[in-house]
Structure formats: structure tokens, C-alpha cells
Amino acid sequence: MAIIPAKLTSRRLVRKNLALLFERPLLSYTLAAARLTPSISKTIVSSESPVVHKLAVRYGAQSHHRSEALCQPDVTNQKVIEAVLEEERIAGEVPDYVVLLQPTHPLRRPRDLARAIDLFQLHDEADCLMTVAPVDLLLGEIDADGLLIPERDLRIPKRQRAQRYRNTGSFYLFRPSRTLDEGRLFGSKILPFIMEHPEFEVDIDYATDLERADALLRANLHHFNDLIEDIDSV
């Protein structure tokens, strides 16, 4: 079951989930990605907006009416997912896996999503799957004297250091019985899924992020033809 949180009360970019990316609504990219992933059998969009619900239904998704309390700035995705699952369980639906798809990550390829679900199914020991990308940054703290205290030992050559990774936020997979049902989002064992194209990882919060995503999409259309075709077919 895929759950897409898509409220329309964004403060930094007004009506963000309906903002146009490559002349198409931002939300439509995530709806298309879910539609094009065979192992996702049900998609639910959680929103307070009738306009968002109408768009979701056009793409074959179902609607979850988000209460005003769940639209506040401090409400986490975990609370939204729990509310959706509660309604689904009342209706007799208990998903084996939950896929969290945030509309703010539009350049998500269905093939990556399908591969990640297959991998997660093979690793029963994992409570959660998280998308990651390699990172090579100098991290540290500045002490009281204004000096940088590196987190790593800089005497160790770069080639000998362990590779580090960052969470991209493109999508998450959960086994509800070990995570959400216990009041935890990630559980205790997280399976990493290394993104093949980390350069596509754009998290849209501001208008400048939208412009960057648009430029990336136009320059790499061959990677997203299936998404564009699915969006335009509705």
C-alpha cells in the first residue's frame, strides 16, 4: 500500500503539491510512479483539499480526508500514516508493506521503486527500507575557541575511509507490524537502498527547488519518459 501525504497548506511554497513542474502538477509525478509500480496494489492520498482528492482519483488512487489537526506544521508523516492505517484496518485492510511517497520528490523512477520493493521482500530481517546516496563531506563541530573539530580523523587517507551515506527521502518502505504498530517509524533494522542516480534527488521546499527540478527533468527526459507518458495519458 502506498501512502502519499499531500496537504495543500505549505507555507514556503504556496499550494506546493499542485505547483507546475514541466507544465504538469507536482503531485502527478508521484501518482504516476505509484501507478507504474506493479507491486503497489493500492495508493491512498491523504489531504484536506478537494482539488488534491480529485486529482488523486483521476490517477486511480483513493482518498483519505486529512483532518485539520493533521494539517498543522508540526504534524509528522508518521502521524498521517497511522491515521490512514487506522481507517484501513477498520475497513478490514491490513497491508503487508507500506510505501511512503512524498510528492516533494518528483524525480523518482518507478524502476527504482520496484527494485527496492523486491529487495525489501528478500530481507525479512529488515523493519524499514530507506533510500540513500553516497556522500563525502567534511563534518565537524566548532568549539568554544572557534576552531573546527572534524568528525573524521583527517590523517586517514580518503581512500581508506569508510564510505558514508545520506538519506535522500525519495521513498521509504515499512513493515507496519514492526514499526508503525509499535509507535516507531523506522524500527530498529534499516535496509539501505542505494540510488542509482543520486543527482535526481531534489526535495522541493522552495520555488528555486522547483526550478532546479524542472531543469534536471528537461535535461534527462529519457529517464522519465514513462512518468511523462503516464501523466499525459490521464
Ordered domains of the chain (ranges, CATH): 2-133+167-233 (3.90.550.10)
How large is the C-alpha radius of gyration of the chain? Answer: 19
Q: Which of 43, 37, 44, 41 is nearest to 113 (CA)?
A: 37
pLDDT tens, residue by residue, 137-186: 878 899 999 999 888 877 888 777 888 899 999 999 999 999 999 989 99
H-helix segments, the chain: 26-35, 50-58, 77-90, 110-122, 207-219, 225-233
Task: Please compute the mean of the pLDDT values over residues 211-216 and round it to a whole number.
Answer: 96
In this model, does residue 206 exceed pLDDT 90? yes
Q: Which three cell numbers stand for residue 46?
A: 491523504
Residue 14's pLDDT band, with cuts at 50, 70 and 90, is: confident
Q: 212 in helix, strand or coil?
A: helix
Q: Which three cell numbers stand for residue 103?
A: 510528492
**Spatial distance between the Cα atoms of 31 and 57, rounded to a whole number of angstroms:** 10
Q: Which of 33, 29, 27 is nearest to 45 (CA)?
A: 27
The predicted model scores a pTM of: 0.92
In this model, does residue 64 exceed pLDDT 90? yes
- Average pLDDT over the chain reads 93
